[in-house]
Amino acid sequence: MNKRNLSLSMLSLTLAAGMLAGCSTGVKTEPPKETAQGGSATAPPDKPITLSFWGGVPAENGPQAVIDAWNKENPNIQVKYERYVNDDAGNLKLDTALIAEQGVDIFVNYTTPALKKRIDNGVALDLSSFTDYSIDQKMGPQAAEWKINGKYYGVPTKRNIFFMWLNKDALDKAGLKVPTDWTWQDLQDYAAKLKTDKRYGLVQSTEVYPDAMDGSLAASKYVKADGTSDFNNPIVGTWLETLNQMMKDGKSTPPLGEQLTTKMPVETVFLKGDAAMLNAGEWIFRSSNDRKANPRDFKIAFAPVPKVSKDQTNFKIRGGLGDVISIAAKSKNKEAAWKFLKWYADGGMLPMASGGRLPASKDANVAEATKLLLGNAADTYDQESLNKVVFGQFDTYNRDLPQQVLDLRREEYEKFFLGKQDIKGTLDTMAKRHNDFLNQNKK
């Protein structure tokens, strides 16, 4: 055999041996991948999915603790939190990001009009394609208030309840009992007795102003039996005149003009002791528990939101469920977002309880949530009224009026409080503008 044939034979044997070796291990051999520098390297592991979660609560008040807990246990699905302020500018920022597909995967809706707008814009995912989680069973019948056209476009995750915060020390000094069933006339009397030269009787944000109107009209869906607007209901006039009298009564409650001009921080005013009563909700616990930032020296008691008149049998208190979390319709990580959302709703959100956000799911640990809600300040609250009001059962409503209706009625009742329109003109104009809206939007 010549040298050439011998070399070919040896090469053939070498290749055959290599093929046999590969077959004997059952491993498929592939050429190594080249690195950017021209060398070879093994294939890199899959990168973790990163979800962008937008919400209105400051990260340090619960969201970051929630996300840290999730990220620790889920290395393949990481979540980052983007805070947007829950006001007009903040909601516009979120809406712009959703429409422009700027990487939003999950976002929180705080009002029905905001959610409806996002559904109309096609940016909130219809959750009916997910069949492994029953929102109705987990959250109870109140969840249905968040169905739009019979479908869920978000998971309501927290219990909502609005109530009156009371400086119990001030009440005791004035010889006033903690109310359990009262009216706006009673509230007016309390405010007059609790006010001083340096202290208001009542403060409330302008956002909760119309709650008395809503509580009176929500059961009828704001319309009379004939289908026309109920905004000119005499009960609405009673509330308007009562609050207006309180504004004119010295320090009973701040005049609307003063409140708008000064952008009064009503929460801080109450916690400093500069107001005896505050109309608000459970989110105030976030601040009232922070004794360093708000070093109050008085005990806090709680009362239900007052009716407008004693004979109201269908009055509702603003509440139900809230913090409705949606998945962005254009998210590239819908399945991962759904996995996180289920975990969050069923207990992952517990760190949010320290800021007043009590979980709605029946599978969440209520005892632990209550402990977190009160923190180290439990002894600074009147426990009897806390249990009756904050953890009580009430007939509630969710403010779900279209934004146009919210705007038109606010414009009219603000004219009344600012002295630019009388009570009859206010009621008539609110009803007329509402009727115009109803006629224009008949199906």
CB burial string 142-160: b at 16+ within 10 A, e below: bbebbebeeebbbbbbbbb
Cβ neighbors of 106 (< 8 A, separation 6 or more) are 51, 52, 53, 54, 79, 325, 326, 327, 328, 331, 337, 340, 341
Q: At what angle do helices 423-440 and 234-248 cross, to 10 degrees?
A: 130
**Can you tell me the distance from the alpha carbon of 434 to that of 429, in angstroms, rounded to the nearest whole number?**
8
Residues in a beta bridge with 366: none
pLDDT at residue 443, rounded to an integer: 67
In this prediction, residue 46 carries a pLDDT of: 72
Q: Phi and psi for 4 in degrees, rounded to 5? A: -65, -50
Alpha-carbon gap, residue 15 to 163, rounded angstroms:
83
Helical H segments across 100-152, by residue range:
112-120, 135-139
Q: What's the average pLDDT block by block, 10 residues per block, for the chain (443 residues)? A: 40 39 37 36 65 95 96 97 94 97 96 94 97 96 93 96 96 97 97 97 96 96 96 97 95 96 96 97 91 92 96 92 97 97 96 90 90 91 94 88 94 97 98 97 81
**What burial class does residue 236 get, using C-beta atoms within 10 Å of its C-beta: 0-12 exposed, 13-18 middle, 19+ buried?**
buried
Q: Given this model, what pLDDT does residue 77 score?
A: 97
How is residue 219 annotated by DSSP?
G
| Per-residue model confidence as pLDDT tens digits over 368-418 | 998 998 988 999 999 999 999 988 888 999 888 998 999 999 999 999 999
End-to-end Cα spacing for the chain: 97
Identify the pLDDT of residue 370: 86
Angle at 182 between CA 179 and CA 187, to 5 degrees: 85
Nearest residue to 360 (alpha-carbon basis) of 146, 51, 150: 146
Separation in Å, CA 4 to CA 9, 12, 230: 9, 13, 105
What burial class does residue 140 get, using C-beta atoms within 10 Å of its C-beta: 0-12 exposed, 13-18 middle, 19+ buried? middle
Cα separation, 140 vs 124, whole angstroms: 22
How many C-beta atoms surround the C-beta of residue 221 within 10 A? Answer: 10
Tell me the H-state helices in 334-422: 334-343, 366-374, 383-385, 403-417
Alpha-carbon span 364 to 351, nearest angstrom = 12
pLDDT value, residue 16: 40
Tell me the one-letter amino acid at 358. L
